[in-house]
Structure 1
Amino acid sequence: MSNYLAIATVTATLQRILQAVIQQDIEGARATTLPPGGISTGAPEVGVNIFLYQISNNPSLANLDSTPNRMKGNPLNRQVAVDLHYMMSCYGNDAELQPQRVLGSIITTLTDKRILTPELIRSTCSDPTFPFLVDSDLADQIQNITIVPVNISLEDLSKAWSVFYQVPYVVSVAYKACLIILEGREAFQRPLPIRDLSPAGIAPFPASPHIEQVSVQGSRFEPITLGSVLIIRGRNLQSQTVEIQIGDLAIAPTSVQDREIVFSLASLSLPAIQAGVQSLQVVHKVASSSPLITNVITSNVLAFVLCPTIVSVTVENLEVIEDNLRSAMAIVQLDVLVREKQKVVLALNEWTVDSPAIYMFDRPPQPSTSSTIEIPIPSITTGEYLVRIRIDGAESQLGVDDDPDSPTYNWYDSPKITIL
């Protein structure tokens, strides 16, 4: 972070760097910092004029002075990050190609010195040529200041020189110095910390519950089904009466703490809820005689995905097409409801290790909501198949053989159908 002298310090440092090099490459060359209108009277016979023609905000640190950062106490003062755009115009005897020689010297120098190091800046500030920069603190800035060339089209270059009224064009190159952080003088006012977040007495907007996460108890990555015990984590979750609202269903929790609520989906009568994305809220019911306080306080809405579970699956209307090819109707009973417009896919994986077949079948449109779905399975080879249902991206889970003495130990083994 730097004070008001930062911009002038960058310009003076560039002038000092270029002056030291071009006077060695071209005899009598000088580096100046005159406005374009004063070039005809004050420019050197041979040399470069460094003109700051534009200042822009640095996009990488656009949020440096955002309110959340300042509320955390960092930074102490308001700040702004800027980039400085310079037009470097070269002068001299064209017959001896002096402007082009100066231009080459500038480019090679700034290629080597792309970073204005703290040592370069400090030496500029202590140079007796620049006594007005003695109070500059740019050298203490944490971020490095880099000097990079700017690609300017012929059209943009002509526009830039057109604003220099009645100034003839000379050989020029543009560079950008980034980034310079300027700091304001007024310190940010930081109040004392809040000791108690709970409302005192009657408050028109009491502390509302806030949900941060919902997951299966014991494993946050396990899919959520109707048999799951769920944990809600957040803040301000405890109250006189607490309910869990999932869609239009209200569920009583088994355990309530200020930062955690435990409840079970197994208490729902089957089927009572659809598969897929669900909305969850914590509802506080507060007994109050004051008209200023609402009796029902709801939390934010958090979404979770409810996966279906296959209760049973049967095969009907089995027809022989060829020797090993069949068509049939799969009837799947689920523990959740499936609505008319939900996307339903039946996945069949042959239960074998010898080139297993894989099939995917879409459910045709159905006229009503139901927990039983019928899906045609045409042209399927005979065999034994594992069955999965995918509803709006929520997929049913397969059972695993957990008998250590079984030859299929640790294999998926259910639910299955057999096509004969």
Structure 2
Amino acid sequence: MSNYLAIATVTATLQRVLQSVIQQDIEGARATTLPPGGISTGAPEVGVNIFLYQVTSNPSLANYDSTPNRTKGNPLNRQVAIDLFYMMSCYGNDAELQPQRVLGSVVSTLVDKRILTPELIRSTCNDSTFPFLVDSDLADQIQQVHIVPVDISLEDLSKAWSVFYQVPYVLSIAYRACLVIVEGRENFQRALPIRDASPAGLAPFPASPYIEQVVAQGNRFEPIVIGSVMVIRGRNLQSQTVEIHVGDLVISPTSVQDREIVFSLEDMALPQIQAGVQSLQVIHRISSTSPLITNAIASNVMPFILCPTIVNVSVSQLEEIEDNLRSAVIVVQLDVLVREKQKVVLALNEWTSDNPSVYLFDRPPLPSTVSTIEIPITNIKAGEYLVRMRIDGAESKLGVDDDPDSPTYNWYNSPKIVIT
């Protein structure tokens, strides 16, 4: 987030970045921030004029300051995310193609400087040319400011100069600076937390299980795979008969306590479950003959990501395309199912420390649900490669060499294939 100087800071940073380059490319060129009508009177003979002609809310963060986000306690002040639109007008001696040379310099510079880094912004604010920006805190904004070109139709460009600016056209290109978050001055008022959310202190289902967290046992950052011992944390989890529902599978827990349930996926006959996002519920079975009482009490649904594990990988249909380039089909057997519409990506990392190559290959949609996948690869150089599978964003794990006497100790070492 930034204070009221954020917009002027972006403009000044652009001016400073362009000024430092175009004066080297075109002698006497200057970067100015005049209105279009002042180019012919107040600008130097050659240069680029930076004019902020439109400010819009950022569509991706239109709800950045919505009530649900503010109640989470993230921003202390009200905030708005905006995009800034600039018209870069290049002028000079047309006989020497100075406007076009300036335009080329601007485009080339903003290709390299497409992100206004905190260092660039701070150096601008500390520049004696801009003493009015000394209190700007745009450099502390978490989100980076990106500079991207904007396509403007000939009709819109004609309207802008003839109706909006009402001055003769000058060779121009438009850019958008996104995103800038401007913070208000008044702090958001936060009430005390609610201690009891039930009406009048009475809950309609006081013993309903509630899941707060699902993690792998031992390390909550460890990816969850088939064979992981999993821990469910929450409240009201204990009952006479407890079932764990993962999708359509019913799993019996290993141990049950009121605040924690431990269960394992390793006893399943493989493969039964698909990779990717899974839904988990705790079900309490109740013995009752009354038609007025349900025989099952279900918890809330908690998602978790199940990562695939590569059981076997092989190379078939290996062909030489040209010198040191090959095509082949990689056959990967997984311990999970892959369904028709799931996105499958094969990642190959060359197993070397000398400028390793990296390849990614998308698998076309599968015709049916399978656990063994064939993935065509092409234009890959010969070598030894580590293999990873990514299914709907869930990535398989790599093995690590844990032999202290090995020359590749603590390296990733499996699964691997050899392309000869």
TM range (shorter): 0.5 to 0.7
How do 1:34-45 and structure 2 match up within 5 A? none
Partner of 1:215: 215
Q: Within the alignment, does 1:254 sit opposite 2:237 as a pair?
A: no
Q: Distance in 1 between matches of 2:384 and 2:273?
A: 31
Q: Which residue of 1 aligns with 2:293?
A: 293
How big is the shift at 1:191?
12
Percent identity over paired residues? 71
Q: Which runs of 4+ in 1 moved over 3 A?
A: 190-194
Specify the alignment match of 1:321 in structure 2.
321
* 1:228 equivalent in alignment to 2:228: yes
TM-aligned CA deviation for residue 288 of structure 1: 1.7
Q: Report the Cα distance in structure 1 between the residues aligned to 2:356 and 2:202, rounded to whole angstroms.
A: 61
In the other structure, the counterpart of 2:242 is: 242
State the alpha-carbon separation in 2 of the partners of residues 365 and 291 from structure 1: 47
Superposition pairs of residues 101-112 of structure 1, within 5 angstroms? none
Letter in 2 for 1:321: I
Give the letter aligned to residue 277 of structure 2.
V
Cα distance in 2 for partners of 1:334, 1:198 equals 49
Shift of 1:290: 3.0
CA spacing shift, 1:410–1:249, aligned 2, 3 Å: same
Q: Please state how far the C-alpha of 1:193 moved relative to its aligned partner.
A: 13
Q: How far apart in 2 are the matches of 1:192 and 1:396?
A: 42
Contact 1:205/1:293, CA 8 A, preserved across alignment: no
> C-alpha displacement at 1:198, in angstroms?
11
Residue aligning to 1:358:
358
Contact 2:343 2:365 in 1 (8 A): no
Q: Distance in 1 between matches of 2:279 and 2:325?
A: 44
The structure having more radius of gyration, on CA atoms, is 1
Confirm whether residue 382 of structure 1 aligns to residue 377 of structure 2.
no
1:349-399 deviation line (CA, Å, top 9, x unaligned): 000011111100011222100000000011110000000000000000000
Distance 1:351 1:193, change over 3 A: closer
Contact 2:209 2:237 in 1 (8 A): yes
Aligned residue for 2:322, secondary structure, equals: coil
TM-score for both structures, normalised by structure 2: 0.53
Whole-Å separation in 2 of the counterparts to 1:269 and 1:213: 26
Q: Is the contact between residue 350 and residue 356 of structure 1 (CA under 8 Å) also seen in structure 2?
A: yes
**Aligned equivalent of 2:367:** 367
Deviation sequence 1:264-293 (CA, Å, 0-9, x none): 010111000000000000000011233332
1:16-415 aligned at under 5 Å gives the runs 205-415=205-415
SS of the residue aligned with 1:272?
Answer: coil
Contact 2:384 2:416 in 1 (8 A): yes
Corresponding residue of 1:23 = none
Give 3-state SS (helix, strand or coil) of 1:258's partner.
Answer: coil
Closer/same/farther in 2, CA of residues 362 and 401 from structure 1, 3 Å limit: same
* Structure 1 residues not aligned, in runs of 5+: 1-59, 67-176, 182-189
Looking at structure 2, the residues matched to 383 and 367 of structure 1 have their Cα atoms a distance apart, in angstroms, of: 31
Structure-1 separation of matches of 2:195 and 2:323: 83
Which residue does the alignment assign to 2:6?
none
Aligned-residue offset at 1:178: 7.8
Unaligned residue ranges in structure 2 (runs of 5+): 1-64, 72-184
- Give the residue type in structure 2 aligned to 1:216: A
Structure 2: which amino acid aligns with 1:228? S
TM-score, normalised relative to structure 1: 0.53
The residue type equivalent to 2:299 in the other structure is S
Distance between the aligned counterparts of 1:401 and 1:294, measured in 2? 53
Q: 1:192 to 1:418 in 2, by over 3 A?
A: closer
1:271–1:337 CA contact under 8 A, matched in 2: yes
The number of aligned residues is: 238
- Where 1:347 maps in the other structure, the secondary structure is strand
State how far apart, in whole Å, the 1-side matches of 2:195 and 2:304 are.
39
Counterparts of 2:393 and 2:217 in 1: how far apart (Å)? 22
Confirm or deny: 8 A CA contact 1:349 1:386 kept in the other structure. Answer: yes
Cα deviation, 1:224-255, whole Å, max 9, x if unaligned, reads 00010000000000011000001000000000
Higher mean C-alpha displacement, 330-339 vs 284-293: 284-293
Equivalent pair of 1:198/1:207 in contact (CA under 8 Å): no
Counterpart code for 1:377: I
CA distance in 1, matches of 2:349, 2:376: 16
Query: Amino acid of the residue matched to residue 348 of structure 2?
Result: L
Deviations 1:283-325 (A, max 9, x none): 0001123333210110000000000000000000011112311
Distance 1:191 1:324 in 2: 68
SS, match of residue 263 in structure 1: strand
